[in-house]
Structure 1
Amino acid sequence: MHQTLAVPTAGPRSVRASRVPRPRTEPEPGRRAGYWTRLLPALAALALLTRLPSFRHPLWSPDEGYLAVQARQLATGGALYDTVVDRKPPLLPWLYEGAFALFGDTSLGPLRLAAVAAQLLTAALLASLARRRWGDRAGAAAGILHLLVSTGLNPEDAQAATFEVFMLPFTAAAVRCADRAQWARAGLAVAGALLTKQTGGAALLPVLWLLWRTAPRRRAALLRTGAALCGPVLLGALVTGPARFLFWTVTGSAAYASFTGSELHVLARGLANTALLAVACAGIVPPVVRVLRIARTGAADLWLWLASSAGAVLTGFHFFGHYYLQLVPPLVLLAAGALQILPPHRLHRALGASVCACALFLGWGLLAPRPELAHAERLAAAVRARSAPHDRVLVWGIHPETYWLAGRAPATRYLTAGLLTNYSGGRDGPQVGEKYAVAGTWPVFRTELAARPPALIVDDSRGKPYAPDRLPSLRRLLAAHYAPLARRVDGAVLYVRAQPPG
């Protein structure tokens, strides 16, 4: 049983039956041959085109820098959730580690290509799902629209090879498999999404809805889905240590997920990113809204997918732009379904508007300067000049990419000041400081610095609320053992080990 779009034939806002294509659950027999051999190359070319800006810079976001530094730590014997820590699940750090092992650790080019492949796979899965429900034209529209709309954010969010991009194929695969009653595969896909980012679990809701509505033997289907979902997650926990896995991916982020502190700042970010995505969706939202006015939709699982993805965006109350990528697959599927009810020219109009919006965002990505990256590169050059390749350094800030760009190992497992102050997420209000750190981090941090003092400490706070003069432990360390250099780098202060008296 598959979801369709049903249209009333009477009433002031109805659509004439002659203009309504009959919903199909299988492609037209005459058009089966060659469908994918034509569509996939076109989608591949479009995926590469829409991600061309990603190849322009060595890094796009601190998340990429964090993952790159983690991968180097893992390659030199680090243990995830022990000597290498982050709040994210393990799949992407392992992917970065594997890419570095195969291609070297000085470029993210292979990860950029992997991100192109991830978006291509997502588009193909959405095309397959839409084609099964509404036919060939809907399938092609869904795949193309996904690639066009997914560019519609700040390039730092849309072009980076980070968690959401690699999570999307798993979420699309989960719903596609559930649509085909492949319950074990759907569970595996949800597990992959969860192990990429926690909010990938939002795909479980439409999977369960389809299971409840379509599975003839619900209990058996639920058992298969649950076993396939829990198996990989439990394996990941066993590999990394169950207690550490649970702490770093679930229970250790209470302060980070709080809405208290910087409410106006966070809400402004949320509104700005919502507006950006709305521009990217200018071609597809009107058809969906129009069909809602004139038709009863049977695509309840897609609406549930969109609602659960919106809840995932709200989780943590930070509203970063890359969170919004999770909304794109259900949105484009709803649009593909709606456009089958409307006249053909509406599809052309939607595609044209989406192409124009995509061109706007691609131009932004190709032409706009990256001042924070330029700062990180200048700071990395200063770190290289003041330290030896084997030295460990501490960069006190929120840009871990400095370690990677400088080719220096971090002096601590905590790669940003955020884990030690709760500044992560852009908080600039009262809930920043030692007492808001992830539980147990400061004793470990002090022990690490005492056991292996960094040759160089970089204070990159530049007036932010996590500055050392607001943190007693770091302030005492700098006063007792380090001396500032006269030269500053864009406001960042470099400290070297002070010579002992006498």
Structure 2
Amino acid sequence: MPLPRTVRVERATVQRVGRRPEAAPAPNWTRLITVLAALTVLTRLPSFVRTPWNPDEGFLATQARQLADGGVLYETVVDRKPPLVPWLYRAAFAVFGDDSLWPVRVAAILAVLVGAVLVASMAARRWGERAAWVAGLCYVFLSVGLDPEDTQAATFEVFMLPWTVAAMWCAERSRWFVAGLAVAGAVLTKQTGGAVLLPVCVVLWRTRAGWTALLRAGVGCALPILGTAFAFGPGKFLYWIATGSGAYLSADGAGLKPVLRALGALGLLTLAALPLVVALVHAVRRRRAGGHPYTATCHGHRAPLGGTADVWLWLAASLAAATVGLQFFGHYFLQLVPPLALLGAVALHELTARAATAALAGTALLACGYVGWGFTAGRDELDHAHRLADTVRSYTDREDRVLLWGMHPEGYWLSQRAPASRYLTAGFLTNFSGGRGEARVGERYAMEGAWQRFERDLRRRKPELVVDDSRGKEYGVRRTPTLRRHLGRHYEKVATIDGSEFYLRTSLDAAGLHRKQAAGPR
């Protein structure tokens, strides 16, 4: 005897809620990838209108030249970052030359596109075709949702994000060893990329994959990191990417500056994602009020707001990673983009098609505003860097080494002059960074042994020109006794440009000096 209609409906409802929704139709990947590629290029066009965008790009470009000249990473070429991005710059320069950053700008476009496609694939697997489009588009739009200096530069976070998304993409497909490799790739791009390991482990636990899967993921993660560590020397590698930055990873003496910087960055990203945030808040409130967990449809399949615990944890872990060191630079918050894009996709599923389209259009319009900001951003610091580089060239020959005492190492790359020291910024030797106040800035807060190595560098590779580019900051030469004494013994002040003071070696004869000045920039 057939069951009554009401019983059949209730049973169907229980079965639908109790199992994962059936696979929704896959999107047209050729069309989706083409659209994402076009939008990625358009949103990153500002990256080509100025060089460099920030000191990190200048640092990486100078590092790449040092490596090409036989430098050794973490020995004669040093930084607090893992090696993948310096190697990427070095490879790009080897193929295309080292006079332009356009190759790494193109690599950044590819990195954003890969991340967007992987996020779209995750959304398609979970919630269907419409979610795939929304997630991919949101990823591209949000990737420019900060100060252009933080989003348009081809630096660490841009290249880290595809690794983090790949780790989650592999985890939800139970490819545990490859997921571990992706986590390692994120860590070797920037240390905070390791935060994605937490949501990966949650996916592993939720799917009851077992100890074998955990072992495979652990081995996949450990092998590249340990291999890299042993290639450089475990102690040296650990020092430069972790233990040697103890004083740097602190906001002591900075007052409210880091807090204001964090609020500014979060405010900009929230503004960029405002339509998505509103939709997400609406969806969460509706569900807490007792709404059914399946509230929107996509080609006949219902999209749950539930089942996103791993994405929320991914967002929380990314936010925690952005706060490490209490520096709160804007580009740190790019790590929030992938989980935000996924949450935005599922939130828009809670809206009607018309409301979801309007929210996505609003997000696109906001992204246009950030792109326009990129084209019109102020150039004061960049113009200063170019004037400084021109002056450096006027006082030196191509083979001369120079020392730029400041926080803007792009001057080395722009002037085409090699640095006299392994330390490309004064931050290694004074602990100055990001507007930190006087409380923890000075020689005593330098990295351990840095001044001894610095003085050895100056004896071995005497700079023809020293530029005090501190411009009144707490780490200036006047507040750095060791360097001040060195300048007093061997150098004379020859110029002041935009507040930067130039000191030339006294061993250079007057006739040679006049010849170089008369020759002009070279």
TM-score normalised by length of structure 2 = 0.89
- Counterpart among 218, 221, 236 of residue 229 in structure 1: 221
Is residue 376 of structure 1 aligned with residue 411 of structure 2? no
Instruction: Determine whether 1:245 maps to 2:242.
Output: no
Residue 489 (1) aligns with residue 497 (2): yes
Q: How many residues align?
A: 476
Structure 2 residue corresponding to 1:179, chosen from 150, 172, 175? 172
Letter in 1 for 2:496: R
Secondary structure of 1:430's aligned partner: helix
1:117 aligns with 2:110: yes
After the TM superposition, which residues 418-497 of structure 1 pair with which residues of structure 2 at under 5 Å, given as runs? 418-485=427-494, 487-497=495-505
Bigger Rg, structure 1 or 2: 2
CA–CA distance in 2 between the matches of 1:263 and 1:244?
Answer: 32
Question: What is the distance in 1 between the residues matched to 2:124 and 2:255?
Answer: 43
Is the 1:392–1:409 Cα contact (8 Å) retained in structure 2?
yes
Alpha-carbon shift at residue 113 of structure 1 (Å): 0.3
SS at match of 1:263: coil
Deviates more, 1:442-451 or 1:397-406: 442-451
Q: Give per-residue Cα distances to partners, 1:424-455, cap 9 Å, x unaligned.
A: 23312310000111111000001111222110
Alignment of 1:256-335 (within 5 A): 256-295=248-287, 297-335=306-344
CA pair 75-499 structure 1, distance change in 2 beyond 3 A? closer
The answer on whether the counterparts of 1:174 and 1:190 sit within 8 Å (CA) in structure 2 is: yes
The residue type equivalent to 2:39 in the other structure is: L
Contact 2:421 2:457 in 1 (8 A): yes
What letter matches 1:93 in structure 2?
A: P
| Contact 2:252 2:436 survives alignment (8 Å) | no
Mapped pair 1:349 → 2:341: no
Deviations 1:257-297 (A, max 9, x none): 11211121111111111111111011110111111112262
- Deviation for aligned residue 1:23: 7.2
| Structure 1 residue 341, shift from structure 2 partner | 2.4
- Please say if 1:498 is aligned against 2:490: no
Aligned residue in 2 for 1:202: 195
Structure 1 residue 24, shift from structure 2 partner:
3.8
Alpha-carbon separation, structure 2, partners of 1:210 and 1:191 = 17
Distance 1:327 1:453 in 2: 44
Residue 408 of structure 2: SS of its match in structure 1?
coil
Asked if 1 retains the 8 angstrom alpha-carbon contact of 2:407 and 2:426, the reply is yes
Q: Give 1:37's aligned residue.
A: 30
Cα distance in 2, alignment partners of residues 56 and 134 from structure 1: 38
Letter in 2 for 1:265: K
- How far apart in 1 are the matches of 2:434 and 2:193? 19
1:97 partner letter: R
Three-state SS of the structure 2 residue aligned to 1:372 is: helix
**Structure-1 separation of matches of 2:50 and 2:251:** 33
| Cα shift readout 1:109-157 (whole Å, capped 9, x = no counterpart) | 0000000000000000000000000000100110001101111111000
In structure 1, the residue matched to 2:406 is 397
User: Structure 1: how far apart are the matches of 2:164 and 2:431?
Assistant: 30
Q: Does the 8 Å contact 1:24/1:132 carry over to 2?
A: no
Task: Give the distance between the partners of 1:410 and 1:355, measured in 2 at CA.
Answer: 43
Equivalent pair of 2:167/2:183 in contact (CA under 8 Å): yes
Tell me if the contact between 1:287 and 1:346 (Cα under 8 Å) persists in the aligned partners: no
CA separation in 2, counterparts of 1:234 and 1:328?
29
1:206 touches 1:301 (CA, 8 Å); kept in 2? yes
**Compared with structure 1, are the counterparts of its residues 25 and 204 closer, same or farther at alpha carbon in structure 2 (3 Å cutoff)?**
farther
CA–CA separation in structure 1 for the residues paired with 2:422 and 2:208: 47
Q: Is the 8 A contact 2:276 2:347 kept in 1?
A: no
Provide, for residues 296-351 of structure 1, a one-character-per-residue CA deviation record: whole Å limited to 9, x for no partner: 62210001000000001111101111001000110110111121122112211221
Percent identity over paired residues: 54
Structure 1 residue 369 displacement after superposition: 2.4
Deviates more, 1:73-82 or 1:255-264: 255-264
Between the aligned partners of 1:52 and 1:35, the Cα distance in structure 2 is 26
Q: CA-to-partner distance for each residue in 1:82-125, whole Å, 9 max, x for gaps? A: 11100000000000000000000000000000000000000000
Residue 16 of structure 1 aligns with which residue? none
Letter in 2 for 1:385: S
Q: 1:489 deviation in Å?
A: 1.1
Residue 403 of structure 1: SS of its match in structure 2? helix
1:68 partner letter? A
Q: Which amino acid aligns with 2:322?
A: V
Q: Note if contact 1:25-1:132 (Cα within 8 Å) is conserved in structure 2.
A: no
Q: In structure 2, what is the equivalent of residue 85 of structure 1?
A: 78
Output one character per residue of 1:199-223: Cα deviation in whole Å (capped at 9) or x when no partner: 000110110000011034x100010
Deviation at 1:26, TM superposition (A): 2.2
Paired residue for 1:68, among 38, 50, 61? Answer: 61
Higher mean displacement: 426-435 or 107-116: 426-435
Shift of 1:388: 0.5
Q: Which runs of 5+ in 1 are unaligned?
A: 1-19
Consecutive unaligned residues of structure 2, counting only runs of 5 or more, are 1-16, 288-292, 294-305, 510-522
| Alignment check: 8 A CA contact 2:253 2:436 kept | yes
Query: Residues of 1 paired with 2:36 and 2:307: CA distance?
Result: 28
Residue of structure 2 in register with 1:169 after alignment: 162
Conserved 8 A contact 2:24-2:128 = yes
Return the alpha-carbon distance in structure 1 between the equivalents of residues 142 and 159 of structure 2: 16
Counterpart contact for 2:148–2:377, Cα < 8 Å: no
Distance in 1 (CA, whole Å) between partners of 2:255 and 2:448 is: 23
Q: Match for residue 519 of structure 2? A: none
Aligned mates of 1:413, 1:25 — CA distance in 2 = 57
**Coordinate RMSD, CA, aligned:** 1.6
